[in-house]
A and B are shown apart, each in its own frame.
Chain A
Amino acid sequence: MGGFVLRKLGAALIVLAIASLFVFLGIRALPGDPALALGGEDRDPQVLAQIRHDYGLDQPLPVQYVRWVGHALQGDLGQDQRSLSVAHTIIHKLPVTLELAALSVLIAIIIGVPAGVLAAVRRGKTSDYASTGVALVGLSVPHFWLGLMMIIVFAVDLHWLPAGDYVSISHPVANLEHLVMPAIVLGTGFSAVLMRQTRSAMLESMGADYVRTARAKGLSEWKVLGWHAFRNSLITVTTVIGLQLGALISGAVVTEQIFGIAGFGRLTIESVQQRDYTLIQGIVLVAAAGYVIVNLLVDLLYSVLNPRIRVSGRPT
């Protein structure tokens, strides 16, 4: 297993490096003078010269890159238009989004995985068609629209839940009240994907020879499906979860916008509206880094679940 972990770690680092390169070059690809872009609206030549010096814009590109990465690794992502530390702003807003994301993932797993198993086991029967149908609809609904609909129904018509804002976690009940709808909205697409993946993974393991062997041993259907088949499909399902994170981040951006939650997602929109390039740069980098790290963790989880990796270090 050690070899596997090291390989994945190495790959992750490379990917992170490439991603950071993309971000760096992306900002530099701006037409016009980067100093102008970084400085916002200020046109004062002295300020611009200062910016050039600060950011080392007079240096060759590779040097700039290294400097930037160096700073980033130390936690310094520069300053935004209002001269606030980008890193600080991001760290401040991140926990809100993380909580939202965690809740959504939880909801998605709780709903999606059992639904997928059920659909697979009852393949061809009504409950299969029903759950698959619901999942398909879940995939076809733009979740921001779902958010709007939910607001109309639950907040406007029924007055059950508040329409937005965020209450800190120190008030757990209110906190959850405010996060329930956004979490459900965000989790819907994810749970639909999970449900379908679980279903197809289950169907595949259910059709495998070893399931037939388990039946031939006289085990109850519960054991055959719930234990032998499911345990195998878990492996596939885990990898899917990692891949969906990108979509989760995208979803968070929109969801926060609709529900008026001041988190990482909303920050992203604001940064574009204000053309705050340093902020954008920091945000994109953090998002990419987060994705790579979480996927690394998912890979580790995968190695734990799959004995072929755990014991001999290579799949099959």
Chain B
Amino acid sequence: MTTPLLDVSDLSVRFDTDDGAVHAVDGLGYTLGAGEVLGLVGESGCGKSVSALSLLGLLPSTATVTGEALFEGANVLNVSPRQLRRIRGKEISFVFQEPMTSLNPVFTVGKQISEVLRKHLELSSKQARKRTVELLELVRIPAAERRVDEYPHQLSGGMRQRVMIAMAVACDPKILIADEPTTALDVTIQAGILDLMRDLRERLGTAIILITHNLGVVADIADRVVVMYAGRKAEEAPVRELFANPQHPYTIGLLNAIPRLGEEEGNGRERLQEIPGRVPSLSEPLDHCAFADRCPRADDLTRSSVPPLERVGTDHLVACFHPGGEWSR
């Protein structure tokens, strides 16, 4: 068992706002091996983006982060600002969700990519420009030579996202964190981006943390999956295992909710299964199972204590008092 590239344990994030505190992440832990693709899955507001942003210290000042995230021997949550700046963009890089607003509108695309090259690799401007063009070609942007001097508003959404990816892989990082990289894009473009990411992983051997609420994306590209709910980890398993044998009622609910075409059950049409209820308010850390309000298996136990993480198979973890159950297919 080799040391994981990234070892996150007991990560918690609390926001202090005008209207009270919000406990966005509560005791999250996972590991990431070199070259591995980890899918971080959950619905909007479950804390997956926040947990990723906290790794690079990109949260606003109203956030308090506790816990440990060991990367190359150091706790990334605790390093000095100087060390953090050396890690950002070079060892660990981030691809944001909104390509429209994540690029600076007043600088050319090329300049923004060269910037990170010159900062970390200390290239001359000529070398940086050359490498920038190469990167643009790597992310499959046509007419890269011309695009280098264009402004973000001149590119389409899909191309902007590719530029962001180019910026992120420019210095050959060990870990690439992609936060919903395809959510803001058209479905037809999504496939291209995922293809690109798979390609990059093959070629560069970068480990990827892919954050998404889309299980289809996860099935496509991830090696392992962590399912989050209300700031906590609900389940973790290798991707095939998760889809074949989901244990947590939330995961089961998610998988059930995926519409399938051409079903023959009943009169050929099945009602989309939904998970009733809503995500609990996070103004206090919950002292019971976060999913209890919506869970078909809820009982006094789940409403009074927090389910611990338990192993239910090789590499398969679940935080549930009543795991397993009806799941066909």
Contact A213 B151, beta carbon cutoff 8 Å:
no
What number of residue pairs across chains A and B have CB atoms under 8 A from each other? 76
**Chain A CB within 8 A of B43 CB:** no
**Chain A CB within 8 A of B120 CB:** yes
Give residues of chain B (99-118) contacting chain A, Cβ–Cβ below 8 Å: 101-107, 115-116
Question: How distant is B81 from chain A, measured CB to nearest CB, in Å?
Answer: 8
| Max count, chain A CB within 10 A of own CB: residue among B94, B96, B104 | B104
Residues of A near B89 (CB, < 8 A) are 216-219
Contact A231 B106, beta carbon cutoff 8 Å:
yes
**Chain A CB within 8 A of B153 CB:** yes
Given A209-B101, A231-B106, residue A216 in contact with residue B86 (CB < 8 A): no
> A316 to B85, alpha carbons, bound, how many Å?
32
Contact A308 B98, beta carbon cutoff 8 Å:
no
Question: How distant is B107 from chain A, measured CB to nearest CB, in Å?
Answer: 8
**Chain B CB within 8 A of A274 CB:** no
> A218 to B102, alpha carbons, bound, how many Å?
15
> A231 to B85, alpha carbons, bound, how many Å?
22
**Chain B CB within 8 A of A89 CB:** no
Contact A217 B98, beta carbon cutoff 8 Å:
no
**Chain B CB within 8 A of A271 CB:** no
Contact B105 A218, beta carbon cutoff 8 Å:
no
Question: How distant is A72 from chain B, measured CB to nearest CB, in Å?
Answer: 40
Interface string of B141-165 (1 = CB under 8 A from A): 0000000000101100000000010
Question: How distant is B49 from chain A, measured CB to nearest CB, in Å?
Answer: 12
**Chain A CB within 8 A of B257 CB:** no
Give residues of chain B (151-193) contacting chain A, Cβ–Cβ below 8 Å: 151, 153-154, 164, 167
Contact B104 A232, beta carbon cutoff 8 Å:
yes
Contact B85 A220, beta carbon cutoff 8 Å:
yes
Question: How distant is A85 from chain B, measured CB to nearest CB, in Å?
Answer: 48
Contact B116 A218, beta carbon cutoff 8 Å:
yes
> A306 to B151, alpha carbons, bound, how many Å?
11
Contact A212 B167, beta carbon cutoff 8 Å:
no
Residues of A near B106 (CB, < 8 A) are 231-232, 235, 305-307
**Chain B CB within 8 A of A311 CB:** yes
Contact B119 A210, beta carbon cutoff 8 Å:
no
Interface string of A224-239 (1 = CB under 8 A from B): 0000100110010000
Cross-chain contact of A213 among B85, B86, B90, B102 (Cβ < 8 A): B102
Residues of A near B96 (CB, < 8 A) are 209, 212-213, 216
Give residues of chain A (190-241) contacting chain B, Cβ–Cβ below 8 Å: 208-210, 212-220, 228, 231-232, 235
**Chain B CB within 8 A of A312 CB:** yes
Contact B58 A212, beta carbon cutoff 8 Å:
yes
Cross-chain contact of A228 among B56, B98, B104 (Cβ < 8 A): B104
Contact A210 B105, beta carbon cutoff 8 Å:
yes
Contact A217 B104, beta carbon cutoff 8 Å:
no
Residues of B near A220 (CB, < 8 A) are 85
Cross-chain contact of B105 among A214, A215, A216, A307 (Cβ < 8 A): A307
Contact B88 A311, beta carbon cutoff 8 Å:
no
Contact B154 A219, beta carbon cutoff 8 Å:
no
Cross-chain contact of B88 among A217, A228, A235 (Cβ < 8 A): A217
> A212 to B164, alpha carbons, bound, how many Å?
13
Interface string of B48-77 (1 = CB under 8 A from A): 000000001010000000000000000000
**Chain A CB within 8 A of B247 CB:** no
Contact B119 A217, beta carbon cutoff 8 Å:
yes
Contact A218 B153, beta carbon cutoff 8 Å:
no
Contact B102 A210, beta carbon cutoff 8 Å:
yes
Contact A218 B58, beta carbon cutoff 8 Å:
no
**Chain A CB within 8 A of B206 CB:** no
| Max count, chain A CB within 10 A of own CB: residue among B85, B106, B164 | B106
Question: How distant is B131 from chain A, measured CB to nearest CB, in Å?
Answer: 15
Residues of B near A235 (CB, < 8 A) are 106
Residues of B near A216 (CB, < 8 A) are 56, 58, 88-89, 93-94, 96
Given A219-B85, A311-B154, residue A214 in contact with residue B104 (CB < 8 A): yes
**Chain A CB within 8 A of B34 CB:** no
Contact A219 B101, beta carbon cutoff 8 Å:
no
**Chain A CB within 8 A of B87 CB:** yes
Give residues of chain A (286-312) contacting chain B, Cβ–Cβ below 8 Å: 305-308, 311-312
Residues of B near A305 (CB, < 8 A) are 106
Given A209-B96, A212-B96, residue A316 in contact with residue B101 (CB < 8 A): no
Nearest chain B residue, comparing its CB with the CB of A210: B104
Residues of B near A219 (CB, < 8 A) are 85, 89, 115-116, 119
Q: What is the interface of chain B, defined by CB distance below 8 A to chain A?
A: 56, 58, 85-90, 93-94, 96, 98, 101-107, 115-116, 119-120, 151, 153-154, 164, 167
Q: What is the interface of chain A, defined by CB distance below 8 A to chain B?
A: 208-210, 212-220, 228, 231-232, 235, 305-308, 311-312, 316
A-B contact pairs, 14 of them (CB 8 A): A209-B98, A209-B102, A213-B102, A213-B167, A216-B88, A216-B96, A218-B86, A219-B89, A219-B119, A228-B104, A228-B107, A231-B106, A232-B104, A308-B153
